[in-house]
Amino acid sequence: MTIVFDPFCGVSGDMILSSLLDLFPERRDDVISKLENLGRLLGIELKIKLEEVKRGGIPGKLLVIESDAMRIDNPMEMLRTFSKLCSTMNFPEKISKTGRRILLRIFEAESRAHGVEMRRLHLHETGDIDTQIEVIGTLILLEDESEVYSTPISIGKGYVRTEHGLMPVPTPATAQIMLKSAHKFRLGPVEGELATPTGVAILSEIARPIPDSMSFNPTRIGHGAGSMELKEIPNLLRAYLLSHEKEEILYMVETSIDDVTPEILSKVQEDLGSISLDVYLLPTLMKKGRLGHTLKCLVEGTKLREAIEKIFESTGTLGVRYYSVKREKLEREEVKLNIPIGERKFKVRFKVSYLPSGRRQIKAEYDDLKRISDEVGLPIRIVKEEAERIARKEIR
């Protein structure tokens, strides 16, 4: 499933959730019911409605959250509450981990903006129950292995009145989130605040910047409405559901270096491996005949900024190149089998992939083969041949 958000008039947490509820009407009642159950767990009154409104003559869905919950003004308490809700509701681990990262983006940005340690921070609007509802609801709707992209985010311009007085747009907290985001931002198109900290934090965590080279065919469109009616532009967030494509857009990040020792390069490669789909070193003949290496790593859009910063910090290079690349994947699945080797049986994982012709490929996982080879004292080549021979018979 591939989704593209188009925040042409900004973004907020409620607009993201309402656009997805509009995009997936068949899941609307179930998701709202789950979210209202969170109120019962917290012992509060919580009512969630999705109202049909028009913005600039275009229909959209407005999320309305009614609650008697007290605002949580401490970030650590809010993180504990969030984890408790996810655990009690038996949400998948991915929802809990991604949700915590979103909240940490917000709290760390607020901390930097106000010059206060996070544990001493006093939350304002982001301490409302609405923030947790918007994060959890969004992640429930995206809990499948979704590929999510976003066009550049409009942030508004001018000034906005806050509890601290008149602030420039983007507000300090939103600006701090932008600094750590891989997305592109644009001022306007109207006066006022269009992008909230929660909205920018959610998109920064779940979505990749849409590459200029990406084309798509939408099959559905959802509209999430902002609370204000603007004269100049429809106050809506668009969400597109795309037809399934085998092709995906990734980023290649690289730098050429000739003054880093092999030991350090090995550690850099290891560190990048935790955030990269692939990472490798190529021998390079540089200017003036100097021998060096080109370090290359393939990353998803959400990891682009982290990869660039890690390369700068770890290598001392003065420049990093990156560019979008297309990758097409074969359909694949993982199958686990108990394979007899000698007098014992071992659990082995197999990657089963399908060529465009329909032919099947079966490949045993190296780590499992190595473990068996070490235990039984057979060459890994023999273990591989026997395991894959049995798998070809058993996997249908």
Q: Are 236 and 55 in contact (CB under 8 A)?
A: yes
Per-residue pLDDT, 343: 87
Per-residue pLDDT, 42: 87
What is the average pLDDT across 200-204? Answer: 98
Q: pLDDT tens digits for 314-360?
A: 999 999 999 989 888 888 889 999 999 988 999 999 999 988 888 99
More confident residue, 250 or 135: 135
Q: pLDDT tens digits for 20-70?
A: 999 999 999 999 999 999 998 888 999 999 999 999 999 999 999 999 888
Q: pLDDT tens digits for 280-309?
A: 999 999 988 999 999 999 998 888 999 999
In the predicted model, is pLDDT for residue 214 greater than 80? no
Sort 170 into a burial class: Cβ within 10 Å, 0-12 / 13-18 / 19+: buried
What is the average pLDDT across 172-180? Answer: 96
- Percent of the chain exceeding pLDDT 90 equals 80
Q: In whole numbers, what is the pLDDT of the chain averaged over residues?
A: 93
Per-residue pLDDT, 328: 84
Q: Could you tell me the pLDDT band of residue 183, with boundaries at 50, 70 and 90?
A: very high
Q: pLDDT tens digits for 135-166?
A: 999 999 997 667 899 999 999 999 998 877 89
Q: Could you tell me the pLDDT band of residue 169, with boundaries at 50, 70 and 90?
A: very high
- Percent of the chain exceeding pLDDT 70 equals 98
CATH class of the region 331-394: alpha beta
Report the alpha-carbon distance of residue 276 to residue 201 in Å, rounded: 21
In the predicted model, is pLDDT for residue 217 greater than 90? no
Q: Are 51 and 153 in contact (CB under 8 A)?
A: no
Per-residue pLDDT, 55: 97
Q: Could you tell me the pLDDT band of residue 212, with boundaries at 50, 70 and 90?
A: confident
Q: Could you tell me the pLDDT band of residue 246, with boundaries at 50, 70 and 90?
A: low
Which residue ranges make up each domain of the chain? 2-242, 248-328, 331-394
The two beta strands, 344-354 and 321-328, are unpaired
Per-residue pLDDT, 145: 62
Q: Could you tell me the pLDDT band of residue 245, with boundaries at 50, 70 and 90?
A: low
Residue (of 188, 202, 212, 182) closest to 305 by Cα position: 182
Report the alpha-carbon distance of residue 103 to residue 101 in Å, rounded: 5
Q: Residue 231 contacts by C-beta under 8 Å, 6 or more apart in sequence?
A: none
Q: Residue 41 contacts by C-beta under 8 Å, 6 or more apart in sequence?
A: 85, 88, 89
Q: What is the pTM of this model?
A: 0.69
Q: What is the CATH superfamily name and number for domain 248-328?
A: Transcriptional regulatory protein pf0864 domain like (3.30.70.1380)
Torsion of Cα atoms, 355 then 356 then 357 then 358, to 10°: 60
